[in-house]
Amino acid sequence: MGNAETETRNGKPSPAVVHEYLVEAYETRVADAEKKKLMAPIPIDEEVKLKVNSTKREWGASWCEQFSILFWRGLKERRHDYFSWLRITQVLSTAIILGLLWWQSDGNKPKELQDQAGLLFFIAVFWGFFPVFTSIFTFPQERAMLNKERAADMYRLSAYFMARTTSDLPLDLLLPVLFLLVVYFMAGLKKSAGPFFLSMLTVFLCIVAAQGLGLAIGATLMDLKRATTLASVTVMTFMLAGGYFVQKVPVFISWLRYLSFNYHTYKLLLKVQYENITPKINETKIDSGLREVCALVAMVVGYRFLAYLSLRKMKLQPGA
């Protein structure tokens, strides 16, 4: 009597009985047919096949949009590092010391002209050394982030590279302006607009070329200790071959100076300052300086191209 009440209530079977009946019915009548359907291959539309098999990636944004987003991200991330009080103090204090040491020197007298040449060489070395060791950390420090974002196909490598290198330029070029405004007029260099702006453009070219070298070393080695060691040796070699310490370099090693951005920057600064004053100084003929400009531009492009190729060869590690 009790079982009948549990199995039926008001003439209807209980939920437990219904569930048992449905399971048994599925296993005997439907299960085999459903298994066969699941095992059968599903026809795929040809357009879908092409999209799946295509090696061409579908990007969520255009190249310009990717570049713009990455550019502004880089600018916001690094502006505080570039304009830290430590860095501003370093540049300003160096400029003031140089201005005091070469206070109102006269570039028209042979002896003081030679002293001024020493100042111009130091400017070429300082703004060659400084950018190399700030840009060398760029790619090694961002390697983990780059691996993750590239593995997820968030953006093209070319868009990242262009945004990363160009977002540094406005920040890299502001401190040299401050530096030159202090040094140029304290040291009594040629007081006219033309030489001042040409000197500034020369320093800008040197900075961008040196930055490219730092990027190339960092991207090639991707290890901060090894990259710093190689950069130190390279910068020291470029400085020694720069045409101030040794002017008559032996032929078998003289080719090194043509790879040195310090050498070309120094010669350009001499030509800017002493045009119409002397035909030759420190074995440098005072001419238009077109050759040095072309050499620096080639370094700007060449070093960055090398850095980009090194990043292309870097293996992506999605889990890194």
Residue 47 or 134, more confident? 134
**What pTM value is reported for the model?**
0.77
What per-residue confidence (pLDDT) applies to 218? 92
Question: 42-51, 121-130, 203-212: which has the minimum mean pLDDT?
Answer: 42-51
Instruction: Give the pLDDT band of residue 82 (cuts 50, 70, 90).
Output: confident
Q: Report which residue type is found at 313.
A: K
With tokens 């030759």, the residue in question is: 280
Mean pLDDT of 88-111: 87
Q: Is the pLDDT of residue 292 over 90?
A: yes
Q: What is the pLDDT of residue 320?
A: 35
Query: What are the two backbone dihedrals, phi and then psi, of residue 288, each rounded to the nearest 5 degrees?
Result: -70, -25
Instruction: Tell me what pLDDT residue 319 has.
Output: 36
Q: In the 3-class helix/strand/coil scheme, how is 209-265 assigned residue by residue?
A: HHHHHHHHHHHHHCCHHHHHHHHHHHHHHHHHCCCCCCCCCCHHHHHHHHHCHHHHH
pLDDT at 76: 83
Residue keyed to tokens 């190689």: 230
Residue 54, SS3 per DSSP: coil
